[in-house]
Amino acid sequence: MSQYYDTNTTKAPVQEHDIIMRGRRLLDITGVKQVESFDNEEFLLETVMGFLAIKGQNLQMKNLDVDKGIVSIKGKIYDLVYLDDQHGEKAKGFFSKLFR
């Protein structure tokens, strides 16, 4: 897995974050810290680059490797939205309410 160095802190490696979409039906996402919540229409992931909300239809987690920070999602993808890093906690609370 690729890594880069965070220039804002000491020279500790930071996991790289990539999204690969295949035909709007399959997402492979790296750099995932945690899966906050998910159902068949929405996923909320915490990535090394902030929170990522994924919306679609018939969404399913195809693969999850917590140690490597890799998530694969299949289904029809409608929307990918990053939430502002500085407002992560506020956005997390907002999206937590949506996923209840």
What is the pTM (predicted TM-score) of this model? Answer: 0.71
Q: For all residues of the chain together, what is the average pLDDT? A: 82
Domain count, the chain: 1
Q: What is the pLDDT of residue 36?
A: 93
Q: Calculate mean pLDDT across residues 92-99.
A: 57
Q: What is the pLDDT of residue 93?
A: 59
Cα(37)–Cα(31) distance, integer angstroms: 16
Domain housing 42:
3-98
Q: What is the pLDDT of residue 84?
A: 73
3-state secondary structure of 9: coil
Question: Where residue 12 sits, what CATH number does that domain have?
Answer: 2.60.40.2000
